Amino acid sequence: MKILVIGSGGREHALAWRLAQSEKVQKVWVAPGNAGTAREPGVENFPASAPATLAEFARREKIGLTVVGPEAPLAEGVVDLFRSRGLRIFGPTRACARLESSKEFSKDFMQRHGIPTAAYRAFSVAAPAHEYLRTRSAPVVVKADGLAAGKGVVVAGSLEEAHRAVDRMLVQASLGAAGSRVVIEDFLEGEEASFIVMCDGREVLPLATSQDHKRLLDGDAGPNTGGMGAYSPAPVVTPEVHARVMREVILPAVNGMAEAGTPYTGFLYAGLMIHEGAPRVLEFNCRLGDPETQPILMRLKSDLYELLDCAVEGRLAGAQAQWDRRVALAVVLAARGYPDAPRGGDEITGLPEPGEDLHVFHAGSARRDGRLVTSGGRVLSVTALGDSVRLAQRRAYEAIEAIGFQGMQFRRDIGHQAVNARSR
């Protein structure tokens, strides 16, 4: 079986690496991939991103299964296109991807199906949005409705800041069409966790739990990023919380999509805020998280291809996934200037050999004139397994000591919440 993975980040590198280990998989293509996927055994890059080009490639290469990493091609309808040509693909249709590509759609859906989430209203005109804000108290959250690559959410500490965010999005159109409609929602307290399941339209298979670190700097300070690190499992998701998330969030969501005539297939990611054991949904994503995928797949012991095959064939009901009991932890190494204006072209040195408990996944890396150089904001995610959070941290940070490139930025406290949870 030949596989195609669509995307070019650390998430896609981890997917390709795991899939290449399956006995049923002969070869994994990644489109467009990066310098890490180019060197991964059993993996090769195909330099294209346009859905029509990829569908043509899949037909010509006799690709047996395509897996989609990022949200943009899903929102464009890559799954619908592949299916219309009789090509096997795992991911949500364009209609299902609206759970991520429109925050208003997602909030309305949650409200209709009684899925716990913050109170909200949506607006496309500034005056009523300002009026609504006067009925709220700070902190309050202003979100662009559309896809904004992690830049569409303002957690406003004061009402003045929230009013300014509304004007930036609706009046100055700072985010373009993505911010031409906004959702204003109440601030939720608690601890965040990522809850990701595989879904075949009716049945779900939960993956191992995880948490990520969105802020650039230690102590969860600084600007929001695509994610500076992650670990699995998430101690905040106790067995009781897990059961509640399945019952109150995941099953109503999957049943709701099926009842609407748009059965959900693909990875479904609930971004949760957990407070005193009660989960509430911040957002749905219609794909795996990056960097959560790296630690999750480091811990997956089952054959990833077999699980995906079950999901695509509607046979998830009996499927089970085995997880390494160890903790996996990923530290992202980002380029100088990230997240605002990442600089490329800096030579990367000192990459360690992969091992049973260590793998460096690439994202913004490229090979130029035989040198490995930075070519994006998040460059590498150094992912390690350990018998405890501390040991996984130690293994990852030891490896990082040898790695270098000009202006390399990373957090030194990935996993701090989990360390504290365990020593409490």
Ligand X SMILES: Nc1ncnc2c1ncn2[C@@H]1O[C@H](COP(=O)(O)OP(=O)(O)O)[C@@H](O)[C@H]1O
Give me the residues that bind ligand X (CB under 6 A), please. 118, 141, 143, 150, 152-153, 155, 185, 187-188, 192, 214, 271, 282-283
Nearest residue to Mg ion by CB is 271
Select 42 or 271, whichever has its Cβ closest to Mg ion. Answer: 271
**What is the secondary structure of 143-191 as a DSSP string?**
EESS--TT-SEEEESSHHHHHHHHIIIIIS-TTGGGGSSEEEEE---SE
Select 150 or 337, whichever has its Cβ closest to ligand X. Answer: 150
91: left (phi over 0), alpha (psi -120 to 50) or beta: left
Select 78 or 118, whichever has its Cβ closest to ligand X. Answer: 118
Terminal-residue alpha carbon distance, the chain: 48
Total binding residues toward Mg ion, as defined by CB under 5 A? 1
- Of 52-60, 236-244, 264-272, 339-347, which segment contacts Mg ion by CB under 5 A? 264-272
Q: Which does 153 bind (CB under 5 to 8 A by kind): ligand X, Mg ion, none?
A: ligand X
Q: Which does 187 bind (CB under 5 to 8 A by kind): ligand X, Mg ion, none?
A: ligand X
Per-residue tokens: 416: 């701090």
Q: How far is the CB of 271 from Mg ion (least distance, A)?
A: 5
Q: How far is the CB of 218 from ligand X (least distance, A)?
A: 17
The span from the CA of 264 to the CA of 286, in Å, is 9
Torsion from C-alpha of 365, 270, 328, 413, nearest 10 degrees = 80
Q: How far is the CB of 211 from ligand X (least distance, A)?
A: 11
Select 185 or 200, whichever has its Cβ closest to ligand X. Answer: 185
Q: What does each C-alpha distance from 325 to 57, 328, 389 come to in angstroms?
A: 39, 9, 12
Count CB atoms within 10 A of the CB of residue 149. Answer: 12
**Per-residue interface string for the shown chain with Mg ion, residues 163-192, x marking contact by CB under 5 A:** ------------------------------
The three-point CA angle 250-295-144 to 5° equals: 55
> Which residues, at least 6 apart from 103, have a Cβ–Cβ distance to it below 8 Å?
122, 143, 144, 145, 146, 183, 283
Select 152 or 386, whichever has its Cβ closest to ligand X. Answer: 152
Torsion from C-alpha of 370, 374, 379, 385, nearest 10 degrees = 40
Q: Which does 150 bind (CB under 5 to 8 A by kind): ligand X, Mg ion, none?
A: ligand X
Q: How far is the CB of 242 from Mg ion (least distance, A)?
A: 20
Q: How far is the CB of 219 from ligand X (least distance, A)?
A: 14
Contact 281, 115 (CB under 8 A): yes
Regarding 271 and contact with Mg ion (CB under 5 A), the answer is: yes
Contact 283, 289 (CB under 8 A): no
Q: Which does 351 bind (CB under 5 to 8 A by kind): ligand X, Mg ion, none?
A: none
- Of 10-18, 31-39, 268-276, 341-349, which segment contacts Mg ion by CB under 5 A? 268-276
Contact 333, 403 (CB under 8 A): yes
Contact 197, 207 (CB under 8 A): yes
Q: How far is the CB of 224 from Mg ion (least distance, A)?
A: 9
Select 40 or 185, whichever has its Cβ closest to ligand X. Answer: 185
Select 88 or 287, whichever has its Cβ closest to ligand X. Answer: 287
**Cis amide prior to 235 (ω within 30 degrees):** no
Q: Which does 357 bind (CB under 5 to 8 A by kind): ligand X, Mg ion, none?
A: none
Q: Which does 155 bind (CB under 5 to 8 A by kind): Mg ion, ligand X, none?
A: ligand X
The span from the CA of 197 to the CA of 280, in Å, is 16
Phi, psi torsion values for 192, nearest 5 degrees: -85, 150
Nearest residue to ligand X by CB is 283
Regarding 139 and contact with Mg ion (CB under 5 A), the answer is: no
Regarding 224 and contact with Mg ion (CB under 5 A), the answer is: no
Contact 173, 189 (CB under 8 A): no
**Per-residue interface string for the shown chain with Mg ion, residues 231-250, x marking contact by CB under 5 A:** --------------------
User: For binding to Mg ion (CB under 5 A), which residues are involved?
Assistant: 271
